[in-house]
Amino acid sequence: MSLVDTLTPKNTEEIKPGLFIQKRGSGYRQVDPLAWDGKLRIKKQIRTIISFRTIITLAIIGFLVWSYVHDNQQCIDVIENPEEFCKEIYPCVSDMQYSGYGVQKEIDFVVGG
């Protein structure tokens, strides 16, 4: 038995050129066979794989991976040097801590330092 015979589905009929149905139990369903009439249908399968829905799905997965890596890197930066991160985020609080407005004593009391 050859590869083409193996890939040709059983109980399948070609209704119109390119439209195949397969009998399943009490009903029918549309199929896209990999092989038909002794020939492989590779071009049709490639067009089926590269569709708009596939591209959108890959774009969403790519965005999720990018956002995870971006957020993960930001968390690593905060863990490595939290004081520098707080200076960038809260510049006015950092200025008050080091300028002697009495905020340093309150921060030391809250932090426990």
Number of other CB atoms surrounding residue 64 within 10 Å: 10
Q: What are 91-98's contacts with CB under 8 Å, separation 24+? A: none
Q: Does residue 57 sit in the same domain as residue 87?
A: no
Q: Does residue 36 sit in the same domain as residue 70?
A: no
Q: Determine if the pTM surpasses 0.75.
A: no
Higher pLDDT: 24 or 104? It is 24
Split into its structural domains, the chain has a count of 3
Range of the domain at 58: 51-80
Q: Does residue 20 sit in the same domain as residue 57?
A: no
What's the whole-number mean pLDDT along residues 83-110? 56
Q: Does residue 66 sit in the same domain as residue 39?
A: no
Higher pLDDT: 2 or 92? It is 2
What's the whole-number mean pLDDT along residues 46-66? 87
pLDDT digits over 29-51, tens only?
A: 988 888 888 888 877 777 777 78
Q: Does residue 100 sit in the same domain as residue 90?
A: yes
Residue 105 has pLDDT above 60, yes or no: no
Q: What are 89-94's contacts with CB under 8 Å, separation 24+? A: none
